[in-house]
Amino acid sequence: EDLCLDDQVEILPYDVRWEFPRNRLKLGIQLGAGCFGRVVKAEAVGVKDCEESVKTVAVKMVRSQTNVAALEALVSELKIMIHLGAHLNVVNLLGACTKSIIKGELLVIVEYCRYGNLQTYLIKHRKNFINQVDEFGYLLSDAEMQERNTAIILKKDCPGDENQIKIQEQFEVKYVVEKTTSVPASATSLTIEDDKVPGQTDGEGCSGDVNPVSFGVCQQDPDAANNVRELTMSTTDLISWSFQIARGMDYLASKKVLHGDLAARNVLLADDGVAKVADFGMARKMYYEGNYQQSGEKLMPVKWMAVESLTDRIFSTQSDVWSYGVFLWELFTLGKVPYPGMEANHQLIRQLENGYRMEKPNFAPNYIGEIMSGCWKLDPNDRFTFSQIEEKISSQMESAV
């Protein structure tokens, strides 16, 4: 019972069935990078369920092959992913190249998510946001939107091209939307000033020219730049992502895995509006007790952390719920940085202990605001669970149709 956390992860076995031949993996451009690790795009021949065909994948590796701590962290991430198994709303493991681990090389192959991380995506698509929430926090029906006459009229059944919807030009969104399942028949348009995003200067690993029209995690990824998913983003999308991530997190909770760093930067967007929880670098498996106590001083995502994590270094599924609340706030502010203007950690902690919480963002429906409050209860046991959150969102989604 006295095992420290890293020992606990060590108990998890590596399953050789995940081993993938290094010579069938062709590494490509960098998609992103953190302090210790980086992610590159790659082509894999015959990876999981793909027999002999080539599949685009993402490969995680350490930055420096001499950094043992980074390598160990990646090993534990791999083991956690093996333990987790597959779920639609989690970035799934596809394989690993572990043969050269003695030389410090470990490649962890995961699903490639074309549209990159949600934080970057929200900021890039802010200008084309279609708000469906009124000033009282109610979600408007299409009919109500039309009635308000502030709407953009989306002309469906554009002659000659069934997939395209033209948006009337006198309004701000002046694009031809290539495909839409989630864009409503009418909507109010708005423009929001761009926010600077901290941490972007550490480069996301991209150097050289920045392509202003591309989007996704890496601005150099030509695939992401050329495949424009949708030019608009609506409240419906935000709600759908909220629901999907609650599902992904509920799955993690069911496997007794806590994420430890849930934030929009760690949610990836795949095809068809599918959102996936990513980056289990901080994930922990709770073997002997529900809660995990952080031992050393590590870099911590303070603004996403629960009060008890900040004050007593206690992490649990219920502290992931707190982070989920902050994630919702990021979503419905279209990628703003939480607690704007509060940069001193001690100040933030004191305020949180005194009961201060962020307000419901204007773009969030009231029930989303209620979920946020339910994630930020001081006592972890008073917070909603991920399955309750799923339930709350799905019941609202049903009543909205």
Any idea which residues carry the catalytic annotation? 261
Q: Could you give the CA distance from residue 364 to residue 262 in angstroms, rounded to a whole number?
A: 19
**Smallest distance from the beta carbon of 166 to ligand ADE, in angstroms?**
31
177, 206, 264, 268: residue in contact with ligand ADE (rule CB under 6 A):
268
Going by the DSSP 8-state scheme, the letter that residue 360 receives in this structure is P
**Smallest distance from the beta carbon of 276 to ligand ADE, in angstroms?**
8
**Smallest distance from the beta carbon of 29 to ligand ADE, in angstroms?**
11
Q: Which two tokens stand for residue 21?
A: 């031949």
Using the rule CB under 6 A, is 283 a contact of ligand ADE?
Answer: no
How do beta strands 165-167 and 151-155 pair? antiparallel
91, 133, 326, 328: residue in contact with ligand ADE (rule CB under 6 A):
91
Q: Could you give the CA distance from residue 351 to residue 314 in angstroms, rounded to a whole number?
A: 19
Binding residues, as ranges, are 32-39, 60, 265-266, 279
Binding residues for ATP, as ranges, are 32-39, 60, 265
Local structure of 203: helix, strand or coil = helix
Query: 371 — phi, psi (to 5°)?
Result: -65, -45
CB 71 within 8 A of CB 79: no
CB 116 within 8 A of CB 270: no
**Smallest distance from the beta carbon of 269 to ligand ADE, in angstroms?**
9
Helix H or strand E segment including 244 = helix 235-254
The interface region with ligand ADE, picked from 69-77, 108-116, 315-323, 339-347 by CB under 6 A, is 108-116
Residue closer to ligand ADE by CB (options 91, 331) is: 91
DSSP state letters, 272-314 = GG-EEE---TT-EE-SSSS-EE--S-----GGGS-HHHHHH-E
62, 74, 78, 110: residue in contact with ligand ADE (rule CB under 6 A):
110
217, 306, 307, 375: residue in contact with ligand ADE (rule CB under 6 A):
217
CB 183 within 8 A of CB 232: yes
By C-alpha distance, which of 316, 327, 330, 307 is closest to 260?
Answer: 316
Q: Could you give the CA distance from residue 262 to residue 316 in angstroms, rounded to a whole number?
A: 12
Using the rule CB under 6 A, is 248 a contact of ligand ADE?
Answer: no
Q: Could you give the CA distance from residue 160 to residue 143 in angstroms, rounded to a whole number?
A: 27
Binding residues for Mg(2+), as ranges, are 266, 279
113, 263, 321, 331: residue in contact with ligand ADE (rule CB under 6 A):
113
Residue closer to ligand ADE by CB (options 264, 358) is: 264
The interface region with ligand ADE, picked from 110-118, 143-151, 253-261, 385-393 by CB under 6 A, is 110-118
**Smallest distance from the beta carbon of 204 to ligand ADE, in angstroms?**
9
**Smallest distance from the beta carbon of 317 to ligand ADE, in angstroms?**
23
Residue closer to ligand ADE by CB (options 75, 372) is: 75
The interface region with ligand ADE, picked from 109-117, 123-131, 246-254, 331-339 by CB under 6 A, is 109-117
CB 185 within 8 A of CB 146: yes
44, 58, 173, 262: residue in contact with ligand ADE (rule CB under 6 A):
58
- Alpha carbon separation from 395 to 139, 234, 239, 243 (Å, rounded): 14, 19, 12, 11
CB 1 within 8 A of CB 288: yes
Q: Which residues bind ligand ADE (CB under 6 A)?
A: 31-32, 39, 58, 91, 110-113, 116, 217, 268, 278
